[in-house]
Amino acid sequence: MLDTLIQSKTRLKLLLRFFLNPDSSAYLRGLAQEFDENTNSVRVELNRFEEAGLIAGQKDGNKKVYKVNTKFPMFKELQGIAFKHFGIDKIIEQVVQKLGDINAVYITGELARGLDTQIIDVTLIGEKIDLAYLAKLVQKAEQMIGKRIRTLVYEPNTEFKIEEPKLLVFGIHKLGGKLNASHKNRS
């Protein structure tokens, strides 16, 4: 839907890339390679975003690194649009409200990098999660958003490590330890 509102594919990719994961940063050439676009078209859009205050560029040697401006007045709204574009809002709504005692939900993999993907990796941290019910919710969410969802489930009192990049989309959780064989489900 956003592609009908935002005609420039490069602009849309940049918006989603930066607002989906505000902790990430990127260089011009890296973005051009990531998007399979020429550096000039990416540079033009980066300059527009920087002039508007959406992102901030900072010199790092002879390169410039870009990061989203989380103080931008419409940051939360734009991030919400990015979440809705990928269906993250529906996944969270389905999982958190109906699944049980969820401490945190992370998006990992390509989507956490801000890239459009057909597979959404979701890591859940919680107790007494009904895995059969989770599988039903995942199937329902997949039909709603038209993408495949893979899940990992950890109990909060076990040691684990969530793969990078990661994007916390619900809750608060202190990460630590090593990945433990205690993961319960990978759909």
CATH 1.10.10.10 domain residues, the chain: 2-68
Confidence band for 177, pLDDT divided at 50, 70 and 90 = very low
Q: Look at residue 187 and tell me whether its pLDDT is greater than 90.
A: no
| Half-sphere exposure for 56 (CA within 13 Å, toward CB) | 11
Q: Where in the chain is the domain with CATH 3.30.460.10?
A: 87-171
Q: Are 49 and 14 in contact (CB under 8 A)?
A: yes
Measured in degrees and rounded to the nearest 5, phi and psi for residue 123 equal -115, 125
Q: How confident is the model at residue 174 (pLDDT cuts 50, 70, 90)?
A: low
- State the architecture of 2-68 in CATH terms: Orthogonal Bundle (1.10)
pLDDT at 152: 93
Q: Which CATH class is domain 87-171?
A: alpha beta
Q: How many percent of the chain have pLDDT more than 70?
A: 83
Read off the pLDDT of residues 56-73 as tens digits, 9 standing for 90 and up.
999 989 999 999 999 999
pTM of this structure: 0.59
